[in-house]
Amino acid sequence: MLPEDAAAAIGRAASTSFSDYIAAQNPAALPSARNAGNHAVSGADLAPHATTIVSLTYAGGVLMAGDRRATMGNIIASRHIEKVFPADMFSVLGIAGSAGIALDITRLFQVELEHYEKIEGTRMSLDGKANRLAAMIRANLPLALQGLAVVPLFAGFDTTSRIGRLFSYDVTGGRYEEQEHHSVGSGSVFARGALKKLWKPNLGEDDAVKVAVEALYDAADDDSATGGPDVVRQLWPVVYTVNGAGARRIPERSLADAAGEIIASRSVSGREA
Amino acid sequence: MTQQFYVSPEQLMKDRADFARKGIARGRSVVVLSCREGIALVAENPSPSLHKLGEIYDRIAFAAVGKYNEFESLRQAGVRYADVRGYSYDREDVTARGLASVYAQSLGAVFTAESKPFEVELAVAEVGASIAQDHIYRLTFDGSIADETGFIVMGGQADAVVNALKGRWSAEQDFGDAIRAAVDSLRYDGGTTSEPKAHLGSKTLEVAVLDRDPLSARGNVRAFRRVGAREVDIMLDADRASL
């Protein structure tokens, strides 16, 4: 027996999205399934909040770095949190905003890209990935209006045009391609100021790492919710680079060196800023 | 009112099984074999894009023979099963045993209830930390499931290929040796009575591997890797140079 309209299956096959599939099968598993109800209070101070992410392009790729602090009101909720993740082989994702929801969206996004790759036998285009992330942020809008916003930063290597590109988002799921560099989160204004002075076209990878660490240092200097390099606990920002060879996490050692250099140079000059 | 002729259940099942077997035997063989470096999957497949081998999850691969539309829909369903399970539990909670058992249920249900059984035979392979922890499950059209060790051959004249592979395969081989053994054995796909075919080249082969330790080898938890035509050529040439 043929189904009523066998051709209808072709239309349904257009989306091989994991999140669409899970929305149909088990919508409660989606990050946007949280229902905060109709309360007048804001949820902003109830859950940990992730802070500053910076991203910048360099010769042959793009880099993303995040500090290690999560805050809950005036409390430091975590000194160890990691907020920059590889999304797939050629893209990375950094998150600012409500940490629990952001981590769920990250996990869903990672599975989404891997799922597409396995079903289709080919990787999603960079623009396709940026659009899928936009859809996930859009689904979170009701919670964002109750103070549980997630604002990611997305960067990847475009394997077609062979350049690093970066995208920012707003809470409505608006997607904006950024040039040169960008930052999000509570310390982003200070980080942006630092990036404007430190970023140069065609930075080498090592210099790009230093610029990112210094921008986060400046953000931590003026924003209480952003953590600076922690020499006591040996905690450094999480930094990923993406280039033609794929995404790579910069080892702790290089970050300790970069942070040490910045602290030393600022101590020597002995000035206020 | 028309009355159907009585057909005994034995006859009905036998007819269905014969039908499915005929469909499967028409295809070319696929070999899945464990070795020291991991699990190698080798298929005779002239198409570079219509795959018979596929990735299911971190350490799990899929291989199939038979009708493309049928095993492709089973493969996609397997990927969905694994991804949903890994997303709702954890990545390490996705196992080949779980997947093979849902495949077996689905194949068995179709065999008895639908108007036509699936004309496919599947293998679900999971690479372990050592060769003793490798799992290769073979699933046939009627929902039978078998846990095999070493290697399996499906489709075509599988018996002739199995006989050829018995003398060529050993657990200590690296990927190069295992793939060469599989490719050599696939020449006997035509059956024991006919002459072995000419050596297969990379153009008619589809090769993939599950690395035993992908994290230290490639910095990735996903063990599945397609072996490109150039790499296959290099592997097969090494064989000819040593002859």
Dump pLDDT digits (tens) for B174-187: 899 999 999 988 88
Q: Is the pLDDT of residue A13 over 70?
A: yes
Calculate the CA dihedral of residues B223, B225, B231, B233 and round it to 10 degrees: 110
Residues of A in contact with B85 (CB under 8 A): none
Of A18, A21, A121, the CB nearest to B51: A121
Please judge whether B79 and A29 are an interchain contact, meaning their C-beta atoms are less than 8 angstroms apart: no
Closest alpha carbon to A112 in A81, A133, A90: A133
Mean pLDDT value of segment A55-64: 94
Predicted confidence at residue A4, as pLDDT, reads: 62
Residues of B in contact with A115 (CB under 8 A): 79-80, 83
Q: Is the pLDDT of residue A261 over 80?
A: yes
Q: Say yes or no: B54 contacts chain A, CB-CB below 8 A.
A: yes
Q: Is the pLDDT of residue A208 over 90?
A: yes
Predicted confidence at residue A273, as pLDDT, reads: 66
Predicted confidence at residue A1, as pLDDT, reads: 47
Q: Say yes or no: B93 contacts chain A, CB-CB below 8 A.
A: no
What does the mean pLDDT of chain A come to? 89
Mean pLDDT value of segment A60-85: 92
Predicted confidence at residue A127, as pLDDT, reads: 95
Phi, psi at B97, each rounded to 5°: -60, -45
Tell me what percent of the residues of chain A surpass a pLDDT of 90: 66
Predicted confidence at residue A269, as pLDDT, reads: 80
Give the Cα separation of A196 and A188 in Å (integer). 12
Q: What 8-state DSSP symbol labels residue B221?
A: S
Predicted confidence at residue B23, as pLDDT, reads: 85
Residues of B in contact with A18 (CB under 8 A): 80, 83, 87
By annotation, the residues of A acting in catalysis are 51
- Give the bridge partners for A49, in sequence order: A71, A98
Q: Say yes or no: B56 contacts chain A, CB-CB below 8 A.
A: yes
| Ordered strands of the B120-126 beta sheet | B53-57, B60-66, B120-126, B135-139, B145-148
Please judge whether A111 and B56 are an interchain contact, meaning their C-beta atoms are less than 8 angstroms apart: no
**What ipTM was assigned to the predicted interfaces of this complex?**
0.89
Of B79, B84, B115, the CB nearest to A118: B79
Please judge whether A18 and B88 are an interchain contact, meaning their C-beta atoms are less than 8 angstroms apart: no
Where residue A28 falls among pLDDT bands split at 50, 70, 90?
Answer: confident
Q: Is the pLDDT of residue A69 over 50?
A: yes
Dump pLDDT digits (tens) for A239-251: 999 999 999 999 9
Q: Is the pLDDT of residue A26 over 90?
A: no
Mean pLDDT value of segment A161-175: 93
List Cβ neighbours of B10 (8 Å cut-off, separation of 6 or more): none
Residues of A in contact with B76 (CB under 8 A): 119
Residues of A in contact with B220 (CB under 8 A): 89
Of A1, A108, A115, the CB nearest to B79: A115
DSSP states of chain A as a string? ---TTTTHHHHHTT---HHHHHHHH-GGGSGGG----S-SS-STTTS-EE--EEEEEETTEEEEEE-S-EEETTEEEESS---EEEEETTEEEEEEEEHHHHHHHHHHHHHHHHHHHHHHSSPPPHHHHHHHHHHHHHHTHHHHTTT--EEEEEEEEETTTTEEEEEEE-TT--EEEESSEEEESTTHHHHHHHHHHH--TT--HHHHHHHHHHHHHHHHHH-TTS---BTTTTB--EEEEEETTEEEEPPHHHHHHHHHHHHHHHHHHT---
Give the Cα separation of A93 and A88 in Å (integer). 9
Taking the CA of residue A264 and the nearest CA in chain B, the distance in Å comes to: 33
Q: Are B240 and B198 in contact (CB under 8 A)?
A: no
Of A25, A108, A119, the CB nearest to B79: A119
Please judge whether A29 and B88 are an interchain contact, meaning their C-beta atoms are less than 8 angstroms apart: yes
Which 3 state secondary structure label does DSSP give B173?
coil
Please judge whether A118 and B87 are an interchain contact, meaning their C-beta atoms are less than 8 angstroms apart: no
The CB density around residue A115, as the number of other CB atoms within 10 Å, is 25
Predicted confidence at residue A96, as pLDDT, reads: 92
Output the pTM of the full model.
Answer: 0.91
Where residue A255 falls among pLDDT bands split at 50, 70, 90?
Answer: very high
Q: Say yes or no: A20 contacts chain B, CB-CB below 8 A.
A: no
Residues of B in contact with A29 (CB under 8 A): 87-88
Note down pLDDT in tens along chain B; length 243 residues: 677 788 888 898 898 999 888 888 888 889 999 999 999 999 998 888 899 999 999 999 999 999 999 999 999 999 999 999 999 999 999 999 999 999 999 999 999 888 889 999 999 999 999 999 999 999 999 999 999 989 999 987 888 888 888 888 888 888 999 999 999 888 887 766 667 777 788 888 999 999 999 888 888 899 999 998 888 888 888 755 554
Predicted confidence at residue A271, as pLDDT, reads: 77
- Which of B55, B75, B80 to mutate against chain A (most A CBs within 10 Å)? B80
Residues of A in contact with B84 (CB under 8 A): 21-22, 25-26
Please judge whether B83 and A1 are an interchain contact, meaning their C-beta atoms are less than 8 angstroms apart: no
> In three state form, how does the secondary structure of A34-58 look?
CCCCCCCCCCCCCCCEECCEEEEEE
Give the Cα separation of B180 and B119 in Å (integer). 29
- Which of B52, B58, B60, B84 to mutate against chain A (most A CBs within 10 Å)? B84
Dump pLDDT digits (tens) for A171-203: 999 999 999 999 999 999 999 999 999 999 999
Q: Which residue of B has its CA nearest to A110?
A: B87
Please judge whether B87 and A121 are an interchain contact, meaning their C-beta atoms are less than 8 angstroms apart: no
- Which of A1, A12, A118 to mutate against chain B (most B CBs within 10 Å)? A118
Predicted confidence at residue B200, as pLDDT, reads: 81
Please judge whether A108 and B87 are an interchain contact, meaning their C-beta atoms are less than 8 angstroms apart: yes
Please judge whether A121 and B49 are an interchain contact, meaning their C-beta atoms are less than 8 angstroms apart: yes
Predicted confidence at residue A3, as pLDDT, reads: 55
List Cβ neighbours of A268 (8 Å cut-off, separation of 6 or more): none
List Cβ neighbours of B174 (8 Å cut-off, separation of 6 or more): B35, B36, B37
Taking the CA of residue B168 and the nearest CA in chain A, the distance in Å comes to: 32
Residues of A in contact with B51 (CB under 8 A): 121
Q: Which residue of A has its CA nearest to B54?
A: A118
Of B76, B87, B220, the CB nearest to A119: B76
- Give the bridge partners for A164, in sequence order: A157
Token readout for A186 is 């509570």
Residues of B in contact with A30 (CB under 8 A): none
Q: Which residue of A has its CA nearest to B53?
A: A121
